[in-house]
A and B are shown apart, each in its own frame.
Chain A
């Protein structure tokens, strides 16, 4: 079956630091890959996505590249802000069903 494993948190950073959250997946076919972000008390918001190998998703300074050879989709941001504090979820979908990682809590300190 499909599964997603992402780096455990929590992660605490200072403003302007570099952020990486590792995500690897197991899938039987060729899934689409996503990063979602969840702010406290809110639902998930789609941050970025990639639908095929070597695609790079990007949004709001975040990037992730679909690596088929390493089955990975690591999230990176070069300079984080306090407003980036949230829980980040890596997810994959084949057809309609999303499978999520456990989430990584990121706290950015001023």
Chain B
């Protein structure tokens, strides 16, 4: 009964390095969403992907951030040349449906990214 699996749980990077966050959706789910949670704040939408397609990346910073969801394997959120402001918890969610508003999104436990 695996839920949404994210790894690593904790990731420490130095400024200027790259961070790769992975997300395996729930079995049978083909819709993946990434959210970022800054300290003391709610989650903010970043990107919505289906297999091999980016549907909506309106919440992604224009530079250094990218996301993919290949035909095989997990979804990857990639942050290049990290800066201190990238320190946050990054959550992945998946859903079964066609992105309709009444399809619940199931969340992983998140990756907590710390930038030194």
Which A residues are within 8 Å of any B CB, using their own CB? 4, 31-32, 34, 36, 41-46, 49, 51, 89, 91, 93-103
Per DSSP, chain A at the interface is strand
Given A42-B109, A96-B48, verify A103-B42 contact (CB < 8 Å). Answer: yes
Which B residues are within 8 Å of any A CB, using their own CB? 4, 6, 31, 33, 35, 40-45, 48, 55-56, 91, 93, 95, 99-110
**CA–CA, A31 to B106, complex, Å?**
18
Number of inter-chain CB pairs below 8 Å: 66
Given A89-B42, A97-B56, verify A43-B110 contact (CB < 8 Å). Answer: yes
Given A96-B56, A101-B42, verify A43-B105 contact (CB < 8 Å). Answer: no
Contact A43 B101 (CB under 8 A): no
**CA–CA, A91 to B41, complex, Å?**
13
B100 neighbours in A (Cβ, 8 Å): 95-96
A93 neighbours in B (Cβ, 8 Å): 101, 105
**CA–CA, A98 to B100, complex, Å?**
11
**CA–CA, A36 to B108, complex, Å?**
13
**CA–CA, A45 to B33, complex, Å?**
15
